[in-house]
Structure 1
C-alpha cells in the first residue's frame, strides 16, 4: 500500500510517499481502507516539528478519518467487514473521565495515523459513521467535532437560551456554532473577516465581532450581551486572547481552553479568574461515548459539517500550507 510519512526530520518538505505492507489485523483489531481524512492544527504542528511533544520518526501523520472495514481480527464483535467507520483520536478512551485516556494511544502521534491507503485500528477505537454524511464530511468529526461537542455538551452542559462565544471560524468553532444553534443557544462569533462573520450568521450565529476592527473585542461582546457577558467561550487563541475572553464571559461562566492559534506567549492573571468566578477547563478532544452522542445529534438534527476545501490525499503538503495560512472556514479534507 501507499503511505505518507514524516521522514528523517520534521518539516512539510520532509513528507515522503512510501510503500508499506497492507497491515493484517491482530486480535480485536480491524483493518480499514481509508476513504477520507481531515486536517487539524495538531497535525500541522507535528509535521513541522512545533508540537509540544516530539514523536519518534518515521511517522504516518493525521489522526482523523473514515474508512471501510476490509478485514477483522479474532474476537472482533462491535463491527463487521463492509462497515463504514470513523476513527477515534484517543484509541482507548471509551468513556468516563479523562483519567481513562492513555497518552501513548493517540492516533497520528505517537501511533501512526491515517495518511495511507489502509490502517489497522483497535475495534474499540472505531464507530459507525453517520449514514447521511459523505466520506469527506464524516472524516471531519473525530477531533474538531468531538472537541466542540465535549466542550459544550459533555462537559459544558449547554442549555437552550445560553449565549456562546466562539473564536474564529476554524473547524472546532464552526462545529460549536452548529451544535449550539441546534440546541437552542445564541451564538456570537469573532473573526478578522466581515465576510466570514456573514457566513457564520448564515449558519445561525446571531452576531459577530471583527477583532481586527475591535482589538478590545471583549468589550464589544459585553455590549452585545447588555453588559452581562456570555455563558460559555470556546477559547482557541491562547494567552493573548484569553484576557479578552475573561472580559467577555459572565460572572460564573465557563471558558473551554482548546488551542493556541494566536501563540503560546503571554500572561494570564489568575486573579481575573478569581474575580469573575469563572470555570476554566482544558478540553482534550473527548471520548468515544461523546463521539457516539454527537453522532446521534448530527443524525437527528440533520447537521452537515462545513468543508472549506478538498485535496487529493497525496497533495498533503499543499493542504497543510492552506491550513497554515489560516484563511479556511470550516474543515480542510483529503480524498483518498
Structure 2
C-alpha cells in the first residue's frame, strides 16, 4: 500500500511516501479500514520534531520545518515514552471497514467509520491512560489502517469523507475540553479560535448555549464569527484591556505562551480554564495568588471519557455542526500540507486523501 512514513524525529526530510508498505492485518478485536481521508493536526508536527520532549521549551513553530537539535528521544511522545520508527502518523481516520479480526462480526464489513483518536483499548481502559492513533500505533496517513473495533464508530450521514476526517482529533479535543469544564450558558473565551480545534470549540460551545469570544488574527475574524463566535479579539493585543478583568466564566486554551497569565486574569471568581495545547510555548507564567484567591480550576485535557466521542457521533448524525475544510491534498503532498498548516494562512482543516485502490474480496481473519 501507499503510506507516508515518519523515519525519525526531525525536519520534513523525515517524511517519506512509499508505495511498498505491507497492508496491516487486524488482530483480535481489530478492524482493517480502507482510509478515505485523514486530516492534518498540530500533533503531527509536534511528534515529527520531538516537541513533546521536556527539553523543548519553545513554541511549536520552533524547528517545525527543520527539526529541533536538542531533544530527548526517550520522552518525545504523548505518553512520555520513546516512539518506534518507522511510524505512520495520522490521528484522524475516515474510511470503510474491509476486513475484521478474530472476535469481530463480519457484519461490520462495509461500514463507513471514524476512529477515536485517543485509544483506550490498548491501555485496558485504565483511567487517564491511552494510546494516540498515529503516535503509539500506526495511524491514517496510508491507504489502510487497523484500529480497535470497539473504538471504531459507524457514522450515518451525508458528509464527505474529508468532512468526517476533520472530526476525530479536532472535535474530540474540543468536546473533551468543554465536557471537562462543564460548559453551559456562560461566557467562554477560545484561544487559537481559527484553527481546527479552535473552530471546533467555537461551534461546540455555541451548541451548548455559550456566548463565545474567539481570540484570533484580525484577518480570520470573519471566519470565526461565521462559525458562531459572538465576538473576536486580536490575538496580538492586550486581552485584559480588550475585555476587562473577571469578565469570562471559562477559558478554552490551545495556545499557552506569554498570554497565559492574562487568561487567568480574565476569569471570574470560581472560573475554569481547560488546556489542551501550547502552540505559543509550553512554559508559562502564573501568579499562583490569582489561582487560589479567585478559586480558579485548571483542567489539563488529554484523556477522553467514553461519552466524548459518543456525543460527537450523535452531533454529526443529527447535523448539529459542520466542519470547515480549508484545503484537500493527495497523500503524496503531505509535506506541502504541513507547510501550509504551519503558515497559519487558513481557517479550518487541511485534509489528506490517499490513492484509491481496487479491493480484493473481503478477507476474514477470525476463522
In 2, are the aligned partners of 1:2 and 1:116 still within 8 Å (CA)? yes
**Distance of 2:295 and 2:147 partners within structure 1:** 42
In 1, are the aligned partners of 2:37 and 2:162 still within 8 Å (CA)? yes
Counterpart of 2:40?
39
> Structure 1, residues 27-71: CA drift from partner, whole Å, max 9, x if none?
211100000001111111112332332412111111111110000
Of 307, 311, 322, which aligns to 2:329? 311
Residues 161-240 of structure 1: pairs in structure 2 closer than 5 A: 161-168=185-192, 169-193=194-218, 195-212=219-236, 214=237, 216-222=238-244, 228-240=246-258
**Distance of 1:218 and 1:334 partners within structure 2:** 39
Of 322, 325, 331, which aligns to 2:340? 322
**Distance of 1:302 and 1:316 partners within structure 2:** 30
Shift of 1:11: 2.2
**Distance of 2:280 and 2:347 partners within structure 1:** 17
Shift of 1:6: 1.2
Residues 325-336 of structure 1: pairs in structure 2 closer than 5 A: 325-336=343-354
Counterpart of 1:294?
312
Q: 1:279 to 1:59 in 2, by over 3 A?
A: same
For the pair 1:102 / 2:129, whether they are aligned, the reply is yes
Of 291, 294, 299, which aligns to 1:276? 294
Q: 1:278 to 1:27 in 2, by over 3 A?
A: same
Shift of 1:130: 4.8
Q: 1:208 to 1:234 in 2, by over 3 A?
A: same
TM-score of the aligned structures, taking structure 1 as reference length: 0.90
**Distance of 2:116 and 2:41 partners within structure 1:** 14
**Distance of 1:308 and 1:283 partners within structure 2:** 26
Q: 1:228 to 1:162 in 2, by over 3 A?
A: same
Counterpart of 1:156?
181
Shift of 1:132: 2.9
> Structure 1, residues 292-311: CA drift from partner, whole Å, max 9, x if none?
11221233344111112211
Residues 114-153 of structure 1: pairs in structure 2 closer than 5 A: 114-152=140-178
Q: Which consecutive unaligned segments of at least 5 residues does structure 2 have?
A: 54-75, 77-81, 355-367
Q: 1:88 to 1:59 in 2, by over 3 A?
A: same
**Distance of 1:99 and 1:243 partners within structure 2:** 33
In 2, are the aligned partners of 1:88 and 1:288 still within 8 Å (CA)? no
Superposition CA RMSD, Å: 2.2
Shift of 1:333: 1.0
> Structure 1, residues 198-228: CA drift from partner, whole Å, max 9, x if none?
222222211111133x2x2123122xxxx54
